[in-house]
Each structure stands twice: as C-alpha cells, then as structure tokens.
Amino acid sequence: MTSEQITAAASGTFRLGDLAVNRIGFGAMRLTQYGQALTPDAVPMERARAITVLRRAVELGVNHIDTAAFYFSSLRSANELINHALAPYPDDLVIATKVGPARDPSGAWLPPAVPGQLRGQVEENLRHLGRDHLDVVNLRVSGPGPIAEYFGALADLRQAGLIRHLGLSGVGPDQLAEAQAIAPVVCVQNSYGIGVRPEQDDFVRACGEQGVAFVPFFAIAAAGREAGASGADSDAVTGIALELGISAAQVRLAWTLHRGPHVLAIPGTGNPDHLVANVAAGALRLSREHLAALDAVHGAPTPRGSRHVVKPPHREGGRPQDADAVR
C-alpha cells in the first residue's frame, strides 16, 4: 500500500466527548502563510493551495481539524479558509478551536482575553467558520494560576448551546482538576514531543486515565515551534527514519501516537505531499528497540502497552522530505 492510499483511519480513533475522531488530525496554524507562523510580516499562502490541502485532508480521512481565530496572515484566515473549503461540513468532521490569545488586524499580539471577552472570541469563531455552535473550544491558558473564572465563562456558553465540548491548552494537572470541577474537559493541548517537556510524561498518562485526550502541538517542530522543524534531529531519529525509509517527521509522529491510545496528533502543513506523509505516519508501528532508542532521546521510559512494528508505509521514489510543524 502506498502512502497515498493510507488514510487517517489507520491511526485508530478516540472520542472527544461523544465525538469520535481519527488520531491523526490536521492543525491549521501553518495554513495561512509560508515560513514562521503567527508573525505580522509572514508571506501569505496562495488561497487555492490552502484550500486544496484542506480538501485533500478530508479525502484522506482526517476528521479532526484544530484552528483558531488568531491563525491568520495579512491576506488569509484559517477559519475562513476552512469554511470556504469544507462547508457544508461533513457530519463526522470535528473542528476544535481555542480562545484566550488575540492579535490585532496588523498581526500584533494583544493582551490575553479576560473572562468577559471570551464570548466575543467564541462568536468570532462562529462567524468565520459559519457555524451555529463550536464542536470543541479550548481555553488557552497563559501561565500558572487559577482558571475557574475563565473556564466558568466557557462553561456558561456551553450551557447556552454555543459550545459542544470544552478543552484546555497550556495547562498543568492542578488546572485540569480545577476545570473538571466546573464542567467536563475532553482534551488537553500542550507542547510535547520527543525531547520536548519530558516532565509532562506523568500528566500525559494521567489524562489517559481520566479519559481525557492529550493533543500535543509542536510534536514535529520541537524547539523550532512556530518556525517549524529545523532538520537537526538526533542520531536515533534519523537512524530509524533511514532504516524504515521514512522521514524524521514521520518518526516523531509515530512516537507521539505510541504515547497512549488517548494521544492525538494534529500535524499542520500547507504542502500537499507533507500532508500525505503526515497521515501515513498514523499507520506506523515502532518496535520495542525503536521506542527504547527514542525514549532515551526524550528522557523517559517507554509507556506500557506501546504498539510494535508491523510494516512501514511504502514510499514511491526517494525518501520523503520532513513534514511541517505540528500545532
């Protein structure tokens, strides 16, 4: 089977509340521009290219798209692109967005929203996506400390029918527990990957024990963050990539999914070929030896119940290039 024939269903499924999603999804952060995301001077991506990528993602079985109103360049808005490309939306498509951060029309960052401003941000997402409710809204937290007032404001909007499910981003265990006491939390989005914040390993496992999806961002980009993958990978990552005939980005995605059945991936790209490779990574099963080598780089033991090697996706021609950053 070629990479082009592998769909997101090969990654398995997990539920966000009552919504089943394939564990390989798509992040929209990199869809609006070339180069570094979330910068005022980013070069906008061609509209037709971005729309092609979105439609191809759905053709490949992606039914979980992560976006935000602050994902935009001077000419492109991720939410508007999603609306244009995919509406009327497939019944099984889950669109998750986030609130808290904000940028002004020039692209400069504004102070994080206060609780009273969150409804306006939710309504902005609704308008741009063309929806009457949002499937999942993540509260993006800007640091440690209490979040009850903020999360409570979103819980009220859930009660009003504007939001179906709630999640959190950039949080720790105490903040998750604080939110769970107010309303159910279906997912946590934090920065995480090989060598990225290994101190979160216990939290990742705890989320699974509570039935909460863990959705890492920057799983490919790592320290590159908004700038994307640097191409400077460890010997373990590059060695496994060469052995299996895949890219370093696919190795990173496969390792991410091995962290537990509740771990979802949202790799983002504006490159159609990288999109195919990202989705194909969901079919990879790494061996114990591969996982041990990668865990040594990460700095943590292999979780119990990790999957083992079967057969890597077949590739046509030369070794595929690394996919873009995960968000």
Q: Which tens digit of pLDDT belongs to each residue from 270-279? A: 999 999 999 9
pLDDT digits (tens, 9 = 90+) for 131-187: 999 999 999 998 889 999 999 999 999 999 999 999 999 999 999 999 999 999 999
Give the closest residue to 10 by CA, choosing from 59, 62, 67: 62
Q: Measured between alpha carbons, how far is 82 from 131 in angstroms, rounded to an integer? A: 11
Q: What pLDDT sits at residue 1?
A: 57
Catalytic residue numbers, as ranges: 71
pLDDT at 306: 41
Q: Which residues of the chain, if any, have pLDDT below 50?
A: 223-230, 301-327
Helix (H, G, I), strand (E, B) or coil at 11: helix
Q: What is the pLDDT of residue 300?
A: 52
Question: Alpha carbon 48 to chain centroid distance?
Answer: 23
**How many Å apart are CA 59 and CA 265, to the nearest integer?**
18
Question: 21-51: per-residue pLDDT in tens?
Answer: 999 999 999 999 998 888 999 999 999 999 9
Evaluate whether 96 touches 103 at the Cβ level (below 8 Å). no
Q: Does domain 3-298 have CATH number 3.30.365.10?
A: no
Residues 6+ apart with CB under 8 A from 189: 66, 98, 138, 167, 168, 169, 170, 215, 216, 217
pLDDT at 323: 32
| In the chain, domain spans | 3-298
